[in-house]
Amino acid sequence: MCFTIWFTFTTTIVNFPNTTGDVRRIHFPMSDTYWIPVMCFLNFNTFAVVGTLPSRRFKYPTVKYIWLVAIIRGLICIPFFMFCNYLPEQRTFPVYFSNDYVYIIGIVLLALTNAHLTTLSFQYGPTLLKSDEVVIGGMMLNIFLYLGILSGGFLSFLYPYIVKNVGSSTLVNDDTDALNF
């Protein structure tokens, strides 16, 4: 469970708020003034709360496979927001997801899965321990949560570097190569 919590928070903090806060709208009918506060921050925080609710009854993934779901989620989430309209003036490779609704769905899924996997991990963790180890186990889960936040914060500095320096040597400012769905 410690790995699941650490990896879930690392992949979440790598993306939110540093990267998701720099994704610019393309055609969404909302002014730039409200785009990031509403579509990034309000959506993430709302769905992070909503994501904790189903874990009371919906116990999937099970204890045996929760780590695997966390890894699959991380492998999808880490590159996803880079391929949205992230740092459009400075990027050196094309935007692959030019539809603003795809970005919004990504934010919602990032928040829901973060909350659900974290809640389940904190529920499952103590059940795997002897009764005299539960307090220490809870402390360990919290330590790995903090380590996930810390490592996600450090790794989030790689996103701008990758988008600005990996790819062709010319800046890409249009969405002609974007996947329009």
* pLDDT tens across the length of the chain (181 residues): 999 999 999 999 999 999 999 999 999 999 999 999 999 999 999 999 999 999 989 999 999 999 999 999 999 999 999 999 999 999 998 899 999 999 999 999 999 999 999 999 999 999 999 999 999 999 999 999 999 999 999 999 999 999 999 877 666 665 545 555 5
Query: Domain extents for the chain?
Result: 2-165
The answer to whether the pTM exceeds 0.85 is: yes
pLDDT value, residue 166: 86
Q: Give residue 87's region: left, alpha or beta (phi > 0; psi -120 to 50).
A: left
Tokens describing residue 43 = 């959506």
pLDDT value, residue 178: 54
pLDDT value, residue 168: 74
pLDDT value, residue 94: 87
Q: How many residues would you count in the chain?
A: 181
Rounded CA separation 69/127 (Å): 19
Tokens describing residue 97 = 């997801």
Residue 107 identity: I
Tokens describing residue 151 = 């490592």
